[in-house]
Every structure is written in C-alpha cells, then in structure tokens.
Amino acid sequence: MEQFLSLFFFIDKLPAWVLAAGMRWGIDMACLCALPNFFNLILHFIIGGIIVIMLMQYGIRKNFFLPLLLLGIMFSGVSKFIDWIQNMLTATGNTVFFSYNLDLLVEALQFIGIAIIFYYIFRSLFASKPSLTKPSNL
C-alpha cells in the first residue's frame, strides 16, 4: 500500500529546498496540492466569462438555457474554490489539511453544479435537427 501511495504522493521524495519554497511562497511546486485546483478555478472563470459574453450576444431565451448554465458553473466554481482553499492550506502549512465537512460541501456543490449543466446541455443536444430547431429550443 505504501508503494502504491508513493506513486501518488511524491512529496517526501522532493529536496528540502523545494518543499521550503513551496511552503514559503505558496507556489505549490512542492506537493502539487493547490496548483491543479488553481488551473481548474481559472477554467471556471473563463467558461463563466464565455457564457456571460454569449448572454450579451444572444440574450436570455425563453427557457433560460444560458443563465442556468451560468448558475451551474457558479456552483461548480464555488466548489472548486473551497477545494483550492483546502489544498492551499496544505501547501502553505506544516501538515496536510483535510476536513470531512468541507469535502462534503465541495462534493454537494459540484453535484448540484454538474446536474444543472448536464441537464441543460442534454436538453439542447436532444433538441430536433438544427434546420428544424425553433428559437425556444435554446
């Protein structure tokens, strides 16, 4: 089991100066704790931005496809933000930070977010052929 874990957690194998740099600056090169979460958070901002631009371009449709998609990405984004905070506390602290309650909150928010996103994308994909699509299908 230890060998299996060491595949995932190579933090102990890193030189001390790399660990020290990670903890000092929170740049997170030491344990890759929060860096991937940070990229995910940025992606959520980019997607949210694209949806806002599309909202301005196409306007709010009858069945609120874009606003609800934005709501979904906001839920997912908040969950990723909390996840990032958890991992950042590990990156900048002296020990691994993990809270079961925060983990529950992260998963619950993610569940709500993706449920909204998947439902509305599915609905859009299930709409009739593009040539026959009515405006209300958006």
Among 23, 26, 40, 68, interactor with another protein by CB under 8 A: 40
Question: Taking CB under 8 A as the criterion, which residues in 1-20 touch another protein?
Answer: 1-2, 5-12
Structure tokens at 132: 């026959």
Nearer to another protein, 25 or 46 (CB): 46
Return the ∠ at Cα 127 (arms to 121 and 130), rounded to 5°.
Answer: 110
Q: Where are the alpha helices (DSSP H) in the chain?
A: 2-8, 16-25, 35-58, 65-92, 100-126
Give the end-to-end CA distance of the chain in Å, rounded to a whole number: 50
How far apart CA 86 and CA 105 sit, in angstroms, is: 12
Q: Which of 25, 45, 58, 64 binds another protein (CB under 8 A)?
A: 58
Residues near another protein, by CB under 8 A: 1-2, 5-12, 31-33, 36-37, 39-40, 43-44, 47, 50, 54, 58, 69, 76, 83, 87, 90, 95-96, 98, 100, 103-104, 107-108, 110-111, 114-115, 117-118, 121-122, 124-127, 129-133, 135, 137-138
